[in-house]
Structure 1
Amino acid sequence: MARKSLVGVVADELLDRIISGEFPPGSSVPGELELSARHDVSRMTVREAMKTLEAQRILSVERGRGTFVNPLNRWSSLEAVLRAASEGQNGPAAAVQLIELRRMLETGACELAAQRITDDELDGLRNCVADMRKAHQANNVASFVAADLAFHDQILHASENVFVAVLFEPLHRVLEKGRTETSKVPDIQEHAIGHHQNIFEALAARDPRQARNAMDAHMQQTLDDLRSYVLEA
């Protein structure tokens, strides 16, 4: 195996240990000797792996003291943050922050979509809401989540802003996991269906302000439901 690949293996395993909570923020990570023995690699390989995580601001080196784990809000790697959000111990806070991010981006995307959406795209949104209703009645969580995600994806693309769609693509795995958890609650499904219908009607009216407000109300309801049914359950 090439040294570069070994560097990636060591960096990934150390990141996994950080995400699992073995090394929480502010704690020190093992030194080069311990890691090189654990992975049966050279100290140079370990050093390069540590530099990789340092470059992503996951680790900070304090000369004379050691290498320490930074808080999640200092990390600069989107992939690492997404892994922490989907696999780590910071789930509740990450879930709230993800809704905050969606609120900032999706309300604007919905406002743009109201001015640009096509009749075919509106038909697609109508079908998504219908699919959500059918899945709710059949208690099919997987189908409900698929229709829910498809509805939001259509709006992002209907905004015709390529940056918005690209920004959301890496979030898909985390969104799917989060929706699957919350959508197990029938009341949350009912709330979502009502808000998706309101968003559809605002877009069908091609009213930018109404569309923005409808999406904002949906994001607020999503946050309220997360706190009431999941985080405080």
Structure 2
Amino acid sequence: MARESLVDVVVAALLERIADGRTPPGGLLPPESELAEEHEVSRLTLREALKVLQAQGVVEVERGRGTRVRPAAQWTSIRAVAHVHDRSGGADAPLHLLQLRRMVETGAAELAATHRTDDDLAELERHLEQMRAAHERGDVEAFVAADIAFHDVVLHASGNPFVAVLLGPLSAVLRARRHETSQHEPVQVHAVAEHAGVLEALRRGDPAASRAAMESHMDQTLRDLQHYVLA
């Protein structure tokens, strides 16, 4: 395994340590030698992983004391926040994620109404058909993949390069959450209908209707989350 891959693995493991409370925010990580032995990596690899977390604002080195985990509010990596919050945030974690999606994706849909191209519309139609086909054959993995791809097209069609970059780091968490809800057949039925509504509004080039359609989709997603997952 390449060192870069090992570094990524160790970074994820250290975030897991923070998430499960072994070293909570404010706490000191174990000594480098102990962590290196625990993860079966060299101290050089461990230090590289710690440098990644330090650059993300997750940890800070206190001379003479060790490496301390900073409060999550001070972290600068969306990916790190999502990784830890998704595992330690309880019922609030998926709700917070949906709140972020609502804020970003409704605005993206509004922008996409006037920026989308014919190719964007064709791609959205293709992903919607993939969702329908996956639903018919009971393929949850394919359904989730098409669902996420549909939303990615909307984000890019907004014409704002910051939009897709903002949600990109959350892709792993989003996929896990979509898979969790899409296990339930009624959720897939709702999703197909809501995505069709978004596509129709975008096809008409109506910004207000596109925003409202995405808002409706987020409302339905919240209801499904509360009924099938959080109940």
**TM-score of the pair, normalised by structure 1:** 0.79
SS in 1 for 2:91: helix
Q: What residue is the counterpart of 1:149 in the other structure? A: 148
1:85 touches 1:95 (CA, 8 Å); kept in 2? no
2:36 touches 2:43 (CA, 8 Å); kept in 1? no
Give the aligned CA root-mean-square deviation in angstroms: 3.4
Q: What residue is the counterpart of 1:98 in the other structure? A: 97
Percent identical pairs in the alignment equals 50
Structure 2 residue identity aligned to 1:128: H
Q: What residue is the counterpart of 1:180 in the other structure? A: 179
Q: What residue is the counterpart of 1:36 in the other structure? A: 33
Structure 1 residue identity aligned to 2:82: L
For 1:7 and 1:38, the matched residues in 2 are separated by 13
Structure 2 residue identity aligned to 1:22: R
Structure 1 residue identity aligned to 2:170: L
> Shift of residue 200 of structure 1?
0.9
For 1:218 and 1:116, the matched residues in 2 are separated by 21
For 2:192 and 2:130, the matched residues in 1 are separated by 10
1:7 touches 1:48 (CA, 8 Å); kept in 2? yes
Instruction: Indicate whether 1:170 and 2:169 are aligned.
Output: yes
User: Which moved further from structure 2: 151-160 or 71-80?
Assistant: 71-80
> Shift of residue 16 of structure 1?
3.1
User: Which moved further from structure 2: 72-81 or 37-46?
Assistant: 37-46
Q: What residue is the counterpart of 1:138 in the other structure? A: 137
The structure-2 alpha-carbon separation of the partners of 1:191 and 1:10, relative to structure 1 and needing over 3 Å to count, comes to closer
The structure-2 alpha-carbon separation of the partners of 1:66 and 1:111, relative to structure 1 and needing over 3 Å to count, comes to same
Of the two, which has the highest radius of gyration? 1
> Shift of residue 166 of structure 1?
2.1
User: Which moved further from structure 2: 215-224 or 13-22?
Assistant: 13-22
Structure 1 residue identity aligned to 2:15: L
Structure 1 residue identity aligned to 2:183: K
**TM-score of the pair, normalised by structure 2:** 0.79
Structure 2 residue identity aligned to 1:80: A
1:10 touches 1:39 (CA, 8 Å); kept in 2? no
